Copies of this chain bind each other. A is one copy, B any other.
Amino acid sequence: MNSASTDVLISEVGPRDGLQSIKSIMPTAQKNAWIDALYRAGIREIEVASFVPAKLLPQMADAAQVVEHAKTLPGLTVMALVPNLKGAQAAIAAGVHKITLPVSASAAHSLANVRKTREEMIEEVQKIAAYRNEHAPHVKLEAGIATAFGCTLQGLVSEDDVIWLAEQVIAAGADESGLSDTTGYANPAQIKRLFKRLKAAIGSKAGAAHLHNTRGLGLANCLAAYEEGVTSFDSSMGGLGGCPYAPGASGNVVTEDLVFMFEAMGIKTGVNLDLLFEARQPLQAGVPNEAIYGMVPEAGTPKGFVPASQGAYL
């Protein structure tokens, strides 16, 4: 279907965020089959891999091959996560359409996660933007603000720091900056407050909401973000890459449940729920030892349910 006719963009992060968080390594052919199935369901942006040293994340060793395959799907925005300039160079060489670089608002988390201060990460954005401008000006650069709603190391994260950092990464050359609830700490009031400030600070460069369901508030937080004008949402099929806590306590918001919520509300995602449920099969086949979550796939859609996108599919 045509993305111009959708109200929100569902950006599937499972092949990267999900697969890099679990022990199992999905074979390349099965990653490709899963990406194909997501595409068939109407997903038009997928974070397919991260470009990091294979010794650190063997799950992502085939990043370039996965990008190469994903690029054969017409109209799909092929994204990859990169931690630094070196990763960005590899991602650009592989031919991605969009790069995403997480920049942590928590000083403690930034040091622990990438061994760089926040100021050093802003410099990294500058270097990546300069490289991109010279070698691949068509590639989009997103710098999402991680731990924007709190941090497991330092606890509270200053809202002023979050907005300051978003302004800095845009000034450094990023095309957009969204907010990530890396730790599952966010609540709907905080979501509205911060996305409102983000939009006031960087206008149309305000990017996606990347929200987690660790404390069960994932969909409520997505609803709050939508009500504040956010139209791009990261989520992960089956909640893959869930946190170590009990059954159902997934990390990322579950794509299937998020699509259901929007479609039930009359908000077009362009995603066909039945085909989305079918895309769980290649995922499960590729990582047979991992638990795949999702409330709507298990309960089924309501009797008489009519999705907003019905009639708009290809």
From B223, B299, B304, A215 is in contact (CB under 8 Å) with: B299
A interface bracket (residues with beta carbon within 8 Å of B): 35 or more
- Known contacts A215-B257, A223-B220, A257-B216; decide if A264 and B299 are in contact (CB<8 Å): no
Q: Is the CB of A243 within 8 A of B304?
A: no
Q: Is the CB of A150 within 8 A of B302?
A: yes
Is A266 positioned at the interface, with any CB of B under 8 Å from its CB? yes
* A217 contact set on B, CB distance < 8 A: 219, 257, 260-261, 264
Q: Is the CB of B261 within 8 A of A188?
A: yes
Give the contacts of A240-259 with B (CB-CB under 8 A): 243, 245-249, 254, 257
Give the contacts of A193-232 with B (CB-CB under 8 A): 213-217, 219-220, 222-224
A186 to chain B, nearest CB (A): 8
Residues of A within 8 A of B (CB): 150-156, 183-185, 187-190, 213-217, 219-220, 222-224, 243, 245-249, 254, 257, 260-261, 264-267, 293-296, 298-299, 302-304
- Known contacts A220-B220, A223-B223; decide if A298 and B187 are in contact (CB<8 Å): no
CA distance A303 to B296 in the complex (A): 31
Could you list 29 examples of A-B contacts with CB < 8 Å?
Answer: A150-B303, A150-B304, A151-B303, A152-B303, A155-B302, A155-B303, A185-B302, A187-B264, A187-B265, A188-B223, A188-B261, A188-B265, A189-B264, A189-B265, A213-B295, A215-B302, A216-B295, A220-B220, A220-B222, A223-B223, A245-B298, A245-B299, A246-B247, A246-B248, A246-B298, A247-B248, A248-B249, A248-B293, A249-B295
CA distance A18 to B246 in the complex (A): 21
* A222 contact set on B, CB distance < 8 A: 220
A132 to chain B, nearest CB (A): 35
- Known contacts A219-B219, A220-B220, A248-B293; decide if A299 and B214 are in contact (CB<8 Å): yes
Of residues A214, A267, A295, A296, which shows the largest number of chain B Cβ atoms within 10 Å of its Cβ?
A: A295
A168 to chain B, nearest CB (A): 24
